Structure 1
Amino acid sequence: MNTRFVASQSVEIAVPEQPVPIQHYLRQPKRLVYALVDPSRMEQLSHDQFRLKMRPLSFMMLSIQPTVDMKVWADADGSIHLKSVRSEIRGVEYINQRFGLNLIGKLYPVEINGVTYLKGKADLEVKVELPPPFWFTPQAILEATGNALLKSVLLTVKQRLMHQLLLDYRHWASEETGVPVSDLGTGLSPNQQII
Protein backbone atom coordinates (compact mmCIF):
# COMPACT_ATOMS: atom_id res chain seq x y z
CA MET A 1 0.00 0.00 0.00
CA ASN A 2 1.61 3.25 -1.18
CA THR A 3 1.16 6.09 1.27
CA ARG A 4 2.30 9.70 1.29
CA PHE A 5 2.84 11.80 4.42
CA VAL A 6 3.51 15.55 4.40
CA ALA A 7 4.23 18.33 6.87
CA SER A 8 5.36 21.97 6.68
CA GLN A 9 6.70 24.31 9.32
CA SER A 10 7.40 28.05 9.17
CA VAL A 11 9.50 30.11 11.52
CA GLU A 12 10.10 33.80 12.20
CA ILE A 13 12.65 34.82 14.81
CA ALA A 14 13.67 38.32 15.94
CA VAL A 15 17.48 38.28 15.95
CA PRO A 16 19.16 40.05 18.90
CA GLU A 17 21.63 42.62 17.63
CA GLN A 18 25.27 41.58 18.00
CA PRO A 19 28.53 43.31 16.97
CA VAL A 20 28.69 41.12 13.85
CA PRO A 21 25.54 40.91 11.65
CA ILE A 22 23.73 37.56 11.41
CA GLN A 23 24.34 37.58 7.63
CA HIS A 24 28.04 36.87 8.30
CA TYR A 25 27.16 33.98 10.58
CA LEU A 26 24.81 32.51 7.97
CA ARG A 27 27.64 32.27 5.44
CA GLN A 28 28.78 29.20 7.42
CA PRO A 29 26.02 26.65 6.87
CA LYS A 30 27.91 24.07 8.92
CA ARG A 31 27.26 26.11 12.06
CA LEU A 32 23.54 26.15 11.29
CA VAL A 33 23.46 22.37 10.84
CA TYR A 34 25.15 21.79 14.19
CA ALA A 35 22.84 24.31 15.86
CA LEU A 36 19.79 22.52 14.44
CA VAL A 37 20.77 18.96 15.26
CA ASP A 38 22.46 17.24 18.17
CA PRO A 39 26.12 17.01 16.97
CA SER A 40 26.36 13.39 18.18
CA ARG A 41 23.74 12.47 15.52
CA MET A 42 25.45 14.35 12.68
CA GLU A 43 28.32 13.33 10.43
CA GLN A 44 29.91 15.67 7.89
CA LEU A 45 30.30 13.89 4.54
CA SER A 46 31.75 16.79 2.51
CA HIS A 47 31.95 20.58 2.79
CA ASP A 48 28.21 20.89 2.03
CA GLN A 49 26.76 17.44 2.82
CA PHE A 50 25.82 16.02 6.20
CA ARG A 51 24.34 12.72 7.40
CA LEU A 52 21.69 12.99 10.10
CA LYS A 53 20.84 9.92 12.14
CA MET A 54 17.45 10.68 13.62
CA ARG A 55 16.25 9.31 16.90
CA PRO A 56 14.16 6.15 16.55
CA LEU A 57 10.53 6.99 15.76
CA SER A 58 7.42 4.98 16.53
CA PHE A 59 4.82 4.63 13.80
CA MET A 60 1.83 2.51 14.75
CA MET A 61 3.56 -0.75 15.80
CA LEU A 62 6.86 -0.09 14.04
CA SER A 63 10.06 1.41 15.38
CA ILE A 64 12.11 3.01 12.61
CA GLN A 65 15.28 5.08 12.50
CA PRO A 66 15.59 7.33 9.45
CA THR A 67 19.01 8.43 8.28
CA VAL A 68 19.04 11.41 5.91
CA ASP A 69 21.89 12.87 3.86
CA MET A 70 21.40 16.61 3.40
CA LYS A 71 23.01 19.22 1.22
CA VAL A 72 23.29 22.64 2.89
CA TRP A 73 24.45 25.78 1.13
CA ALA A 74 24.36 29.57 1.46
CA ASP A 75 23.49 32.15 -1.18
CA ALA A 76 25.23 35.50 -1.51
CA ASP A 77 22.12 37.22 -0.05
CA GLY A 78 22.50 35.30 3.22
CA SER A 79 19.82 32.69 2.54
CA ILE A 80 20.56 29.15 3.64
CA HIS A 81 19.10 26.20 1.75
CA LEU A 82 18.72 22.63 2.92
CA LYS A 83 17.76 19.69 0.71
CA SER A 84 17.70 15.95 1.33
CA VAL A 85 19.74 14.00 -1.22
CA ARG A 86 19.50 10.45 0.17
CA SER A 87 17.56 8.63 2.87
CA GLU A 88 17.49 5.24 4.53
CA ILE A 89 15.33 3.55 7.14
CA ARG A 90 17.12 1.40 9.66
CA GLY A 91 15.22 -1.28 11.46
CA VAL A 92 12.74 -2.51 8.82
CA GLU A 93 14.31 -3.65 5.53
CA TYR A 94 10.92 -4.02 3.77
CA ILE A 95 10.19 -0.33 4.33
CA ASN A 96 13.76 0.76 3.60
CA GLN A 97 13.48 -0.68 0.07
CA ARG A 98 10.18 1.16 -0.51
CA PHE A 99 10.88 4.48 1.18
CA GLY A 100 11.57 7.99 -0.06
CA LEU A 101 12.06 11.17 1.98
CA ASN A 102 12.16 14.70 0.57
CA LEU A 103 13.12 17.63 2.77
CA ILE A 104 13.44 21.16 1.43
CA GLY A 105 14.16 24.10 3.71
CA LYS A 106 15.15 27.73 3.46
CA LEU A 107 16.15 30.27 6.10
CA TYR A 108 16.83 33.91 5.27
CA PRO A 109 17.31 37.25 7.04
CA VAL A 110 14.97 40.21 6.52
CA GLU A 111 14.97 43.64 8.12
CA ILE A 112 11.68 45.11 9.32
CA ASN A 113 11.66 48.53 11.05
CA GLY A 114 15.34 48.26 11.93
CA VAL A 115 15.03 44.77 13.41
CA THR A 116 16.53 41.73 11.70
CA TYR A 117 14.38 38.61 11.56
CA LEU A 118 15.17 35.13 10.36
CA LYS A 119 12.31 33.72 8.35
CA GLY A 120 12.13 30.22 7.04
CA LYS A 121 10.09 27.29 5.92
CA ALA A 122 10.64 23.55 5.77
CA ASP A 123 8.60 21.06 3.76
CA LEU A 124 8.89 17.36 4.53
CA GLU A 125 7.39 14.58 2.43
CA VAL A 126 7.65 10.82 2.91
CA LYS A 127 6.47 8.28 0.34
CA VAL A 128 6.41 4.70 1.52
CA GLU A 129 4.91 1.37 0.68
CA LEU A 130 3.73 -0.03 3.99
CA PRO A 131 4.00 -3.77 4.73
CA PRO A 132 0.96 -6.09 4.50
CA PRO A 133 -0.10 -5.83 8.20
CA PHE A 134 -1.00 -2.16 7.51
CA TRP A 135 -3.16 -2.91 4.48
CA PHE A 136 -6.21 -3.38 6.68
CA THR A 137 -5.79 -0.05 8.48
CA PRO A 138 -7.92 2.74 6.93
CA GLN A 139 -5.84 5.06 4.76
CA ALA A 140 -7.15 8.13 6.62
CA ILE A 141 -5.82 6.79 9.96
CA LEU A 142 -2.41 5.94 8.43
CA GLU A 143 -2.11 9.39 6.85
CA ALA A 144 -3.20 11.25 9.99
CA THR A 145 -0.71 9.29 12.10
CA GLY A 146 2.14 9.74 9.60
CA ASN A 147 1.44 13.45 9.06
CA ALA A 148 1.38 14.03 12.83
CA LEU A 149 4.72 12.21 13.20
CA LEU A 150 6.35 14.37 10.49
CA LYS A 151 4.88 17.52 12.03
CA SER A 152 6.38 16.60 15.42
CA VAL A 153 9.80 16.08 13.77
CA LEU A 154 9.67 19.53 12.15
CA LEU A 155 8.41 21.13 15.37
CA THR A 156 11.40 19.70 17.26
CA VAL A 157 13.75 21.15 14.63
CA LYS A 158 11.96 24.53 14.86
CA GLN A 159 12.32 24.63 18.65
CA ARG A 160 16.03 23.83 18.41
CA LEU A 161 16.44 26.50 15.74
CA MET A 162 14.75 29.15 17.86
CA HIS A 163 16.99 28.52 20.86
CA GLN A 164 20.24 26.90 19.73
CA LEU A 165 20.78 29.06 16.65
CA LEU A 166 20.55 32.35 18.55
CA LEU A 167 22.75 30.96 21.32
CA ASP A 168 25.36 29.77 18.81
CA TYR A 169 25.21 33.08 16.93
CA ARG A 170 25.85 34.95 20.18
CA HIS A 171 28.87 32.74 21.00
CA TRP A 172 30.17 33.08 17.45
CA ALA A 173 29.87 36.90 17.62
CA SER A 174 31.80 36.78 20.90
CA GLU A 175 34.59 34.73 19.29
CA GLU A 176 34.72 37.02 16.25
CA THR A 177 34.97 40.24 18.27
CA GLY A 178 36.81 39.01 21.36
CA VAL A 179 34.00 40.41 23.53
CA PRO A 180 32.99 37.99 26.31
CA VAL A 181 29.51 36.52 25.83
CA SER A 182 28.41 37.92 29.19
CA ASP A 183 29.15 41.44 27.90
CA LEU A 184 27.11 40.97 24.74
CA GLY A 185 23.78 40.52 26.54
CA THR A 186 20.81 39.11 24.73
CA GLY A 187 20.48 42.10 22.42
CA LEU A 188 16.69 41.95 22.71
CA SER A 189 14.82 45.08 23.61
CA PRO A 190 11.77 44.54 25.85
CA ASN A 191 9.37 44.75 22.89
CA GLN A 192 11.25 42.17 20.79
CA GLN A 193 10.23 38.57 21.12
CA ILE A 194 10.92 35.28 19.49
CA ILE A 195 7.85 34.55 17.41
Structure 2
Amino acid sequence: MAISELGGAYLAPCRQPLLPCWTSGRSKLGWPKQQRRFLRCHAASHRGEAAAGKEASTYKSRIATDIPLYESPGASFDRYLEDKPRVFQAIFPDNRRSQQLNEEEWRIQMLPIQFLFLTVRPVIDMRLRCKSRGRDYPPQIPQDVSKVLELDITRWELQGLDSVLQPSHFALGVKGALYPDRHGTRNRLKGQLEMSISFVLPPMLALVPADVLQSVAESVLTRLVENMKHKVNGSLLADYSKFKREQPRELL
Protein backbone atom coordinates (compact mmCIF):
# COMPACT_ATOMS: atom_id res chain seq x y z
CA MET A 1 0.00 0.00 0.00
CA ALA A 2 1.39 3.40 -0.98
CA ILE A 3 2.05 6.00 1.67
CA SER A 4 -0.73 8.20 0.35
CA GLU A 5 -3.14 5.26 0.36
CA LEU A 6 -2.17 4.37 3.92
CA GLY A 7 -2.86 7.90 5.10
CA GLY A 8 -6.17 8.00 3.28
CA ALA A 9 -7.29 4.63 4.60
CA TYR A 10 -6.59 5.21 8.27
CA LEU A 11 -7.18 8.93 8.90
CA ALA A 12 -10.84 9.73 9.49
CA PRO A 13 -12.05 12.93 7.78
CA CYS A 14 -12.37 16.07 9.82
CA ARG A 15 -15.90 17.23 10.51
CA GLN A 16 -15.02 20.91 10.53
CA PRO A 17 -15.37 22.75 7.19
CA LEU A 18 -12.28 23.41 5.09
CA LEU A 19 -11.53 27.07 4.44
CA PRO A 20 -10.79 28.36 0.92
CA CYS A 21 -7.46 29.81 2.06
CA TRP A 22 -6.06 26.29 2.62
CA THR A 23 -5.04 25.84 -0.97
CA SER A 24 -1.40 26.81 -1.41
CA GLY A 25 2.02 26.85 0.17
CA ARG A 26 4.00 24.09 1.87
CA SER A 27 4.97 23.47 5.46
CA LYS A 28 8.45 22.67 6.76
CA LEU A 29 7.42 18.99 6.61
CA GLY A 30 6.86 19.22 2.88
CA TRP A 31 3.08 18.88 3.17
CA PRO A 32 0.64 21.45 1.76
CA LYS A 33 -0.60 23.83 4.43
CA GLN A 34 -4.09 22.62 3.68
CA GLN A 35 -3.17 19.09 4.75
CA ARG A 36 -1.19 20.34 7.74
CA ARG A 37 -4.15 22.29 9.09
CA PHE A 38 -6.41 19.36 8.36
CA LEU A 39 -4.17 17.23 10.59
CA ARG A 40 -4.39 19.78 13.38
CA CYS A 41 -8.16 19.77 13.04
CA HIS A 42 -8.32 15.99 13.13
CA ALA A 43 -6.06 15.87 16.18
CA ALA A 44 -8.23 18.37 18.00
CA SER A 45 -11.22 16.08 17.61
CA HIS A 46 -9.33 13.38 19.55
CA ARG A 47 -7.96 15.44 22.44
CA GLY A 48 -10.24 13.78 24.95
CA GLU A 49 -9.03 10.38 23.83
CA ALA A 50 -5.37 11.42 24.13
CA ALA A 51 -5.92 12.93 27.54
CA ALA A 52 -7.27 9.64 28.81
CA GLY A 53 -3.84 8.08 28.20
CA LYS A 54 -2.90 5.03 26.16
CA GLU A 55 -0.62 2.09 26.63
CA ALA A 56 2.72 2.45 24.88
CA SER A 57 3.62 0.17 21.97
CA THR A 58 7.07 -1.41 22.36
CA TYR A 59 9.15 -3.19 19.71
CA LYS A 60 12.63 -4.72 19.86
CA SER A 61 15.20 -6.06 17.44
CA ARG A 62 18.35 -8.04 18.27
CA ILE A 63 21.32 -9.03 16.19
CA ALA A 64 24.62 -10.81 16.90
CA THR A 65 28.11 -10.76 15.41
CA ASP A 66 30.48 -13.75 15.37
CA ILE A 67 33.34 -13.51 12.88
CA PRO A 68 37.05 -14.44 12.77
CA LEU A 69 39.47 -12.04 14.47
CA TYR A 70 43.11 -11.97 13.36
CA GLU A 71 45.34 -10.29 15.94
CA SER A 72 49.05 -9.45 15.90
CA PRO A 73 51.52 -9.34 18.80
CA GLY A 74 51.74 -5.77 20.03
CA ALA A 75 48.48 -4.82 18.31
CA SER A 76 45.86 -6.73 20.23
CA PHE A 77 42.19 -5.97 19.74
CA ASP A 78 42.12 -4.99 23.43
CA ARG A 79 44.49 -2.11 22.73
CA TYR A 80 42.42 -1.06 19.75
CA LEU A 81 39.18 -0.96 21.79
CA GLU A 82 40.79 1.33 24.35
CA ASP A 83 41.00 4.08 21.72
CA LYS A 84 37.29 4.96 21.92
CA PRO A 85 37.45 8.01 19.59
CA ARG A 86 39.01 5.84 16.92
CA VAL A 87 36.46 3.08 17.38
CA PHE A 88 33.63 5.61 17.21
CA GLN A 89 35.08 7.11 14.05
CA ALA A 90 35.23 3.68 12.45
CA ILE A 91 31.57 2.96 13.20
CA PHE A 92 30.29 6.51 12.52
CA PRO A 93 32.68 7.95 9.93
CA ASP A 94 30.62 11.00 8.90
CA ASN A 95 32.13 13.86 10.90
CA ARG A 96 29.46 16.25 9.64
CA ARG A 97 26.78 14.42 11.61
CA SER A 98 28.61 13.80 14.90
CA GLN A 99 30.46 15.65 17.62
CA GLN A 100 32.31 14.47 20.70
CA LEU A 101 30.76 15.68 23.96
CA ASN A 102 33.23 14.26 26.46
CA GLU A 103 35.66 11.38 26.88
CA GLU A 104 33.06 8.70 26.21
CA GLU A 105 29.99 10.38 24.67
CA TRP A 106 29.17 11.56 21.15
CA ARG A 107 26.13 13.30 19.66
CA ILE A 108 24.94 11.85 16.37
CA GLN A 109 22.47 13.27 13.88
CA MET A 110 21.04 10.10 12.40
CA LEU A 111 19.88 9.87 8.82
CA PRO A 112 16.14 10.52 8.33
CA ILE A 113 13.86 7.60 9.16
CA GLN A 114 10.61 6.95 7.32
CA PHE A 115 7.79 5.84 9.62
CA LEU A 116 4.37 5.43 8.02
CA PHE A 117 4.06 8.72 6.07
CA LEU A 118 6.27 10.66 8.48
CA THR A 119 9.96 11.51 8.23
CA VAL A 120 11.84 11.98 11.49
CA ARG A 121 15.45 12.92 12.18
CA PRO A 122 16.60 11.43 15.49
CA VAL A 123 19.47 13.03 17.36
CA ILE A 124 21.08 10.70 19.89
CA ASP A 125 23.88 10.82 22.44
CA MET A 126 25.89 7.62 22.24
CA ARG A 127 28.20 6.44 25.04
CA LEU A 128 31.12 4.04 24.56
CA ARG A 129 32.71 2.42 27.60
CA CYS A 130 35.53 -0.10 27.95
CA LYS A 131 35.33 -2.69 30.71
CA SER A 132 37.87 -5.31 31.69
CA ARG A 133 38.64 -8.09 34.20
CA GLY A 134 35.00 -9.12 34.42
CA ARG A 135 33.92 -5.93 36.17
CA ASP A 136 30.28 -5.00 35.47
CA TYR A 137 30.10 -7.16 32.37
CA PRO A 138 26.69 -7.73 30.80
CA PRO A 139 25.29 -11.09 32.01
CA GLN A 140 25.67 -12.86 28.65
CA ILE A 141 29.45 -12.21 28.38
CA PRO A 142 31.88 -14.68 29.98
CA GLN A 143 33.77 -13.25 32.94
CA ASP A 144 37.15 -14.35 31.56
CA VAL A 145 36.84 -12.16 28.46
CA SER A 146 39.71 -9.68 28.60
CA LYS A 147 38.01 -6.54 27.28
CA VAL A 148 34.44 -5.46 26.47
CA LEU A 149 33.29 -2.35 24.66
CA GLU A 150 29.76 -1.35 25.66
CA LEU A 151 27.64 1.16 23.79
CA ASP A 152 24.31 2.64 24.76
CA ILE A 153 22.14 5.71 24.21
CA THR A 154 22.00 8.25 27.02
CA ARG A 155 19.74 10.86 25.40
CA TRP A 156 17.54 11.25 22.31
CA GLU A 157 15.47 13.83 20.52
CA LEU A 158 13.11 13.66 17.54
CA GLN A 159 13.49 16.50 15.07
CA GLY A 160 11.41 17.33 12.01
CA LEU A 161 7.95 16.72 13.48
CA ASP A 162 5.22 19.28 13.78
CA SER A 163 3.93 19.63 17.33
CA VAL A 164 0.71 17.85 16.42
CA LEU A 165 2.73 14.82 15.34
CA GLN A 166 4.94 14.55 18.43
CA PRO A 167 4.14 11.35 20.36
CA SER A 168 3.03 11.88 23.95
CA HIS A 169 5.55 9.19 24.95
CA PHE A 170 8.70 8.11 23.13
CA ALA A 171 11.72 6.10 24.27
CA LEU A 172 14.60 4.80 22.20
CA GLY A 173 17.00 2.26 23.65
CA VAL A 174 20.24 0.81 22.31
CA LYS A 175 22.39 -1.68 24.19
CA GLY A 176 25.41 -3.25 22.59
CA ALA A 177 28.62 -5.07 23.48
CA LEU A 178 31.67 -5.99 21.42
CA TYR A 179 34.53 -8.18 22.60
CA PRO A 180 37.29 -10.60 21.51
CA ASP A 181 36.62 -14.26 22.27
CA ARG A 182 39.88 -16.22 22.50
CA HIS A 183 38.44 -19.59 23.50
CA GLY A 184 39.44 -22.48 21.29
CA THR A 185 42.03 -22.54 18.53
CA ARG A 186 40.86 -19.42 16.68
CA ASN A 187 40.00 -15.98 17.97
CA ARG A 188 36.55 -14.59 17.24
CA LEU A 189 35.04 -11.13 17.33
CA LYS A 190 31.67 -11.37 19.02
CA GLY A 191 29.00 -8.86 19.83
CA GLN A 192 25.34 -8.26 20.46
CA LEU A 193 23.15 -5.30 19.71
CA GLU A 194 19.59 -4.73 20.90
CA MET A 195 17.50 -1.78 19.85
CA SER A 196 14.08 -1.00 21.27
CA ILE A 197 11.48 1.66 20.64
CA SER A 198 8.47 2.52 22.76
CA PHE A 199 5.88 5.15 21.92
CA VAL A 200 2.28 6.29 22.14
CA LEU A 201 1.00 7.38 18.75
CA PRO A 202 -0.34 10.91 18.40
CA PRO A 203 -4.13 11.09 18.03
CA MET A 204 -4.00 11.57 14.27
CA LEU A 205 -2.41 8.11 13.90
CA ALA A 206 -4.57 6.35 16.46
CA LEU A 207 -6.57 4.51 13.79
CA VAL A 208 -3.58 2.75 12.24
CA PRO A 209 -4.17 -1.02 12.72
CA ALA A 210 -1.85 -2.78 15.17
CA ASP A 211 -0.52 -5.23 12.56
CA VAL A 212 0.43 -2.39 10.20
CA LEU A 213 2.12 -0.51 13.02
CA GLN A 214 4.05 -3.60 14.12
CA SER A 215 5.21 -4.39 10.59
CA VAL A 216 6.49 -0.86 10.00
CA ALA A 217 8.17 -0.53 13.41
CA GLU A 218 9.93 -3.89 13.16
CA SER A 219 11.09 -3.13 9.63
CA VAL A 220 12.63 0.18 10.73
CA LEU A 221 14.41 -1.40 13.71
CA THR A 222 15.71 -4.32 11.65
CA ARG A 223 17.26 -1.98 9.08
CA LEU A 224 18.94 0.05 11.82
CA VAL A 225 20.52 -2.92 13.63
CA GLU A 226 21.59 -4.58 10.37
CA ASN A 227 23.27 -1.35 9.31
CA MET A 228 25.14 -1.26 12.63
CA LYS A 229 26.23 -4.89 12.19
CA HIS A 230 27.48 -4.11 8.69
CA LYS A 231 29.61 -1.27 10.06
CA VAL A 232 31.14 -3.51 12.73
CA ASN A 233 31.83 -6.38 10.35
CA GLY A 234 33.21 -4.10 7.66
CA SER A 235 34.39 -0.66 8.75
CA LEU A 236 35.57 -1.60 12.24
CA LEU A 237 37.63 -4.61 11.17
CA ALA A 238 39.10 -2.63 8.26
CA ASP A 239 40.21 0.07 10.67
CA TYR A 240 41.64 -2.53 13.05
CA SER A 241 43.73 -3.89 10.17
CA LYS A 242 44.99 -0.35 9.59
CA PHE A 243 45.73 -0.05 13.31
CA LYS A 244 47.92 -3.17 13.13
CA ARG A 245 49.88 -1.79 10.19
CA GLU A 246 50.51 1.48 12.04
CA GLN A 247 52.29 -0.16 14.98
CA PRO A 248 56.12 -0.03 15.11
CA ARG A 249 57.63 -3.11 13.49
CA GLU A 250 59.49 -4.09 16.69
CA LEU A 251 56.12 -4.49 18.42
CA LEU A 252 54.78 -6.74 15.69
Question: Quick one: which of 90, 98, 104 aligns to 1:35?
Answer: 90
* Residue number among 39, 58, 64 corresponding to 1:4 in the alignment: 58
Q: How far apart are residue 78 of structure 1 and its match? A: 1.2
Shift of 1:111: 1.3
Counterpart selection for 1:89 from 158, 176, 195: 158
Cα distance 1:34–1:96, how it changes in 2: closer, same or farther (>3 A)?
farther
1:97 positional shift = 5.7
Residue type of the alignment partner of 1:71: R
After TM superposition, list the pairs within 5 Å mapping 1:143-182 onto structure 2: 143-177=214-248
Runs of 4+ displaced beyond 6 Å: none
The CA distance in 1 between the partners of 2:241 and 2:182, in whole Å, is 18
**Letter aligned with residue 59 of structure 1:** F
Q: What 5-or-longer segments of structure 2 have no aligned partner?
A: 1-53, 133-145
Deviates more, 1:71-80 or 1:90-99: 90-99
Verify the 8 A CA contact 2:108 2:125 in the aligned structure 1: yes
Q: Would the aligned equivalents of 1:65 and 1:90 in 2 still touch at CA under 8 Å? A: yes
Contact 1:45 1:51 in 2 (8 A): yes
| Match in the other structure for 2:109 | 53
The residue matched to 2:232 in structure 1 has which SS? helix
Letter of the 1:39 partner, please give it: D
Matched residues in 2 for 1:178 and 1:67: separation?
42
Which of the numbers 117, 123, 147 marks the counterpart of 1:67? Answer: 123
Q: Distance in 1 between matches of 2:100 and 2:167?
A: 22
Structure 2: distance between partners of 1:144 and 1:178: 53
Alignment of 1:108 onto 2:163: no
Match of 2:76 among 21, 46, 68: 21
For the 8 Å contact 2:115–2:216, the answer to whether it is kept is yes
Q: Quote the Cα distance in structure 2 between the aligned partners of 1:101 and 1:165.
A: 24
Residue pair 1:89, 1:99 contacting (<8 A) in 2 also: no
Larger gyration radius, structure 1 or structure 2: 2
Q: Which has the higher contact order (CA 8 A, sep 6+)?
A: 1
Residue in 2 aligned with 1:188?
A: none
Residue 187 of structure 1: aligned partner? none
The more displaced of 85-94 and 159-168 is 85-94
- Percent identity (aligned): 24
Calculate the TM-score normalised by the size of structure 2: 0.67
| Kept after mapping to 2: 8 A contact 1:29/1:72 | yes
How far apart, CA to CA, are the structure 1 residues paired with 2:200 and 2:194? 20
Count of aligned positions: 180
**Counterparts in 2 of 1:89 and 1:97: CA distance versus 1, 3 Å:** farther
Q: Distance in 2 between matches of 1:97 and 1:46?
A: 30
Question: 1:114 Cα shift?
Answer: 2.9
Greater displacement, 72-81 / 127-136: 127-136
Q: Deviations over 1:68-107 (max 9, x none)?
A: 1011110123100011110011111443663211111111
Unaligned ranges ≥5, structure 1:
185-195
Structure (1/2) with the larger strand percentage: 1
Residue in structure 2 matching 1:135, options 194, 202, 206: 206
